[in-house]
Structure 1
Amino acid sequence: MTKIAMIAPTTLDDYLSTLFQQQLSDNAIKYERDITETVGIGAFDNDKLVGGVLMTRRYDHLYIARLAIDKAYRGQQLGTKLIDAAEAWARERQVLNITLSTRDYQAVGFYEKCGFKRYGKVVDLPFAGVTTVYFVKRLLD
């Protein structure tokens, strides 16, 4: 008889990965590169870390999970430089799309200025009174 129960996330991730690999194989889809890698690019003032972008490439997609600049260093185009560096890194790896999300009080206008297009939003996410906005940027056609 089957049951539903809690399981260690790493154990489950390993198992689900084998199922997804089987789906690729069953559908004759070949993907020759590593499936996932996580990358960080930092912004530095001399040796002091003052901001950065954390991102994950999965297949031919890049997800920007976090981007932030120390308050004292804002207005110096560091965010734009980080986005440019992330895009350059992605293009070198033939990434097709970059996606990210931001909250309505954070960087909506910034990402629009960087060429990202809104594709959705969810009200009251991650908590009441806040809206999360979703963006995508197509790199290669």
Structure 2
Amino acid sequence: MKYIVNLSPSEDDILKICRKLQEYNAAFFEIKDEPNFVISEFDEYDELIGGIVCTIVGQWLEIDFLWVKDEYRGRGLGKKLLFEAERIGMDNGCTKAFLTTMNFQAKPFYLKYGYKVVYVQKEYPIINEKYYMEKTLNYRQNIK
């Protein structure tokens, strides 16, 4: 056996280990496919002004990233992206949504749209807090 510590791993180094874990998990996990999708919003100059990246894991919609350019915040773009992602999730059998956000990010935004904090990771990575949030999905909530 050989033991190697790599303090500057390449993306490929990381992916090799991730794939091995995924192969192992596949024997026990009840689903085999975890499709991703992205919704992007562009301005009239084709500049990206907002987007959301999601993964569907069984009955869960995992919101990996949601970003809106600063000058477009507060205009409903984040809500539009979030609700469209939730609709796609529900159309694909999702009954719950999951995300994480930091204390300096969008916790009030997600609370406003029905997400609940299920766990708080304090002092992360040193002085901030990370919130793990969930929401039960249903079409009636997304009519607002």
> Fold conserved (TM > 0.5)?
yes
Whether 1:134 aligns to 2:132 is yes
What TM-score comes out, normalization by structure 1 length? 0.80
Aligned amino acid, residue 74 of structure 1:
R
Which position in structure 2 is the counterpart of 1:11? Answer: 16
What is the TM-score with the length of structure 2 in the denominator? 0.79
- Counterpart in 1 of 2:10? none
Shift of 1:100: 0.6
Structure 1 residue 3, shift from structure 2 partner = 7.2
Change in Cα spacing, 1:18 to 1:6, as seen in structure 2 (3 Å) is: farther
Shift of residue 38 of structure 1?
1.9
Calculate percent identity across the aligned residue pairs: 26
Cα RMSD (Å):
2.1
The amino acid across from 2:35 in the alignment is E
Count of residues paired in the alignment = 131
**Contact 2:114–2:135 at 8 Å: present in 1 too?**
yes
Bigger drift between 57-66 and 76-85 goes to 57-66
Cα distance, 1:17 vs. partner? 2.5
Q: Name the structure 1 match of 2:91.
A: 92
Poorly superposed stretches of 4+, deviation over 6 Å: none
Aligned mate of 1:20, from 22, 25, 35: 25
Cα distance between partner residues in 1 of 2:36 and 2:5: 26
Q: Structure 1 stretches of 5 or more lacking a match?
A: none
Residue deviations 1:41-98 (CA, integer Å, cap 9, x gap): 1122233210111112222222111111111111111010011111111011001211
- 1:69 corresponds in structure 2 to 68
